[in-house]
A and B are shown apart, each in its own frame.
Chain A
Amino acid sequence: MDPDTDIGGAQQRFPVTNQSAIAAARSEDHVVRQRAFDTILTSYWKPAYKYIRLKWQANNEDAKDLTQGFFANVFEKNHFANYDARKASFQTFLRTCLDGFVANERKERTRLKRGGDANHFQLDFLSAEDELAMQTSSDLSPEDYFHREWVRWMFTMSVDALRERCEASGRKIHFQLFEAYDLHDDPDSSVSYASLAKTFELEPATVNNYLAATRREFRRIVLDKLREITATDEEYRNEARSLLGVDVK
């Protein structure tokens, strides 16, 4: 029987500001720090879990414990306060910390059993396992794999945020068009603006406008998310250029 924990799903939070959560993690204010930590956890737990599964060849149960343990550990000891943006990107810092943690845990064989007073996070490990099963093998280095999965997770969260925003503002059809055209199983398929116009009983120009507006909003969400989970303006700009090919403020 698979003892995977329940999903966080809809409870997962999205930023209300585009301030860097990494910077906020150093705050003296516990509430601010807690919120920043939640953001970092939300943004990084899945890539971290998959990374442990693949790079460290951990089984499902060990990977869950190590993921939980890692984030509990960095939060309890406030490791993020030690992050120095001049030395590496936050992503690299976090991955290095993760490697160190896993190596240490394995070496001492004193894996923490989460429970009692220890932090325990609601993480959707089952979905992470499903995704691992769907992924084909690749020649990526562990570092590149971690980065790719982080990008995938960031876009996944952004799509969910877009859906929530569209539904909350009565623009459900905007998201449906976006889903039909841009989240189609085969992006190169024959879905066209004309076919969408017919399906949704809209003018092609309206489809064009709705899609343009939705993509614009999606872009904003991705950039806000990126801003939030990068430590410095420089890292934010580098990631934006690397991921999206644009220079941003």
Chain B
Amino acid sequence: MKWLSDSKLSHLRAVVGNPDFSGTKYAFVKELARGGMGTVYLAEDTELNRQVAIKVLSATEISDDLRRRMIREAQIIARLEHPGIVPVHDVGVLADGRVFYAMKLVRGVRLDEYAANTSSTRERLRKFQAVCDAVAFAHAHGVIHRDLKPQNIMIGSFGEVLVLDWGVAKILRDDRGPAASEADTLLLPGPDQPKPDTTSDTSQGTVIGTRQYMSPEQARGEVDRLDERSDIYSLGAVFYFLLTDQAPNDDKPRAVNPRVTKPAEAVCLKAMARDRSNRYASAAELSADVSRLLDAEPVSAYRENVYEKVSRWVSKNRFLVLLVLAYLLMRIFFIFTSRS
């Protein structure tokens, strides 16, 4: 009976906890990240000789019916072919009963890490707009994410923006069939998940997602009422983070960061309106307002006064204004010199 050192013990715990990919085309490489619902592993696709990220859900105890539904829904997610959505390559069940999804391996940094190293507001706005576009695409296909937060958004090596972790997505409607019910939640794991700020039971009255980025109706567990506008709230919360470098709280963005412009704050607050009927009706609308912010155009969320209109126009046409001023000064100079 040999004594197990701490490092051996730690290794053995990982060995026991690591997924058994026998019977699949994947070979385990290492653990990448661990979350409330499952663990993401780096694995080798032995047929295609490429590395993939595999999310293995924690729950082993699921019914055949649920397993079939999860696989069908993963297929729906897999159809979301958009450059801003991490593609699902494969879905299956491991020997121990756990469901797994094989996804493209994304190399890059999370949005929160990116923000920590990027002070340019314009760059942040561009990334956020790309997030909005990806979410708008999913919404157009009847899928809502339900757990949008900076940690679930990756900025790839070439600046590409990818929305990750569709594991708790809800299918509002299937393009191939009639509108879906709550039964069409992508993930319905067992009741014993750890619940720090994320829970996984999606029955009515319980919540799913991450509280700081979660819409009020989602936080109240009103699962049946969730629609695209719940994601809009979460997008607003992500925008709040990008404007202030803080997770949303009771303070308005300008109270946290005085450099935030009034229109930017208005866009953020409109997306995060407590009453969902006051939010943007779609992610595309939100994206359009972000685009206007980037172009120094008036946004739908904010009514400017005359002074602000002039200021924005001047700010936007600074070069033209300088030219006109220079021309006027020269004219004045010539008038005075010709008189003398």
Contacts and interface: CB of A to CB of B under 8 A. Distances in A.
Interface string A205-230: 00011001101101100100000000
A183 interface: yes
B2 A156 contact: yes
Please name the 6 residue pairs, one residue from A and one from B, whose CB atoms are nearest each other, closest first: A187-B11, A244-B17, A245-B17, A212-B22, A247-B58, A219-B16
A244 B16 contact: yes
Interface residues of A, number: 40
Interface stretch (A28-36, A84-92, A98-106, A127-135): A127-135
B12, B18, B34, B98: residue with the most chain A Cβ atoms closer than 10 Å: B12
Interface in B191-243: 192-194
B20 interface: yes
Contact of A9 (B1, B4, B9, B61): B1
Nearest to B3: A131
28 contacts: A9-B1, A127-B3, A131-B3, A134-B5, A152-B9, A156-B2, A159-B4, A185-B5, A185-B8, A187-B7, A187-B10, A188-B7, A212-B21, A212-B22, A213-B22, A215-B16, A216-B20, A216-B95, A218-B15, A219-B96, A234-B192, A237-B192, A243-B16, A246-B60, A246-B98, A247-B61, A247-B193, A248-B61
B39 interface: yes
Contacts of A215: 15-16, 18, 20
A247 B22 contact: no
Given A182-B11, A208-B27, A209-B22, A247 B3 contact: no
Nearest to B12: A155
A248 B60 contact: yes
A218 to B, nearest CB: 6
A65 interface: no
B76 interface: no
Interface string A124-159: 100100110010000000000000000110011101
B59 interface: yes
B200 to A, nearest CB: 10
Contacts of A218: 12, 15-16
A212 B22 CA distance: 7
Given A238-B192, A244-B13, 19 more contacts: A9-B1, A124-B1, A127-B1, A131-B3, A155-B4, A157-B1, A182-B11, A183-B8, A187-B10, A218-B16, A222-B16, A234-B192, A243-B16, A243-B17, A244-B17, A245-B34, A247-B58, A248-B60, A249-B61
Contact of A247 (B9, B10, B60, B95): B60
B142 interface: no
A213 B95 CA distance: 11
Contact of A159 (B2, B39, B194): B2
B3 A130 contact: yes
A79 interface: no
B189 interface: yes
Contacts of B8: 183-185, 187
A215 B12 CA distance: 9
Contacts of B1: 9, 124, 127, 156-157, 160
A130 to B, nearest CB: 7
B190 interface: yes
Given A134-B3, A152-B9, A241 B16 contact: no
Nearest to B95: A216
A127 B1 CA distance: 9
Interface in A153-200: 155-157, 159-160, 182-188
Contacts of B39: 245
B4, B16, B60: residue with the most chain A Cβ atoms closer than 10 Å: B16
B169 to A, nearest CB: 21
A245 B58 contact: yes
Contacts of A185: 5, 8
